[in-house]
Homo-oligomer: A and B are copies of this chain.
Amino acid sequence: MTDSTKSRARGADKRRRLTAAAAEVLHRQGVERTTIADIAETADVPVGNVYYYFKTKDELVQAALSEHEGNLAELTTELDRLPDPLDRLKALVHAWVGQRDIAVRFGCPTGTLAVELDKRADGTLDQEAGRVIRVLLDWVEHQFRALGRPDAGDLAVTLVAGYQGMSLLANALRDPDLMTREGNRLIRWLDTLAAGGAAS
Contact = CB atoms under 8 A, between A and B. Distances in A.
A57 B182 CA distance: 36
B165 A161 contact: yes
Nearest to A111: B168
A127 B178 contact: no
A89 to B, nearest CB: 15
Nearest to A130: B172
Interface in A136-191: 137, 154, 157-158, 160-166, 168-169, 171-174, 178, 181-182, 185, 188-189
A8 interface: no
A115 interface: yes
A168 B165 contact: yes
Contacts of A121: 29, 33
Interface of A: 28-33, 106-107, 111-112, 114-116, 118-121, 127, 129-130, 133-134, 137, 154, 157-158, 160-166, 168-169, 171-174, 178, 181-182, 185, 188-189, 192, 199-200
9 contacts: A29-B121, A30-B116, A32-B32, A112-B119, A115-B115, A154-B185, A158-B185, A164-B168, A192-B200
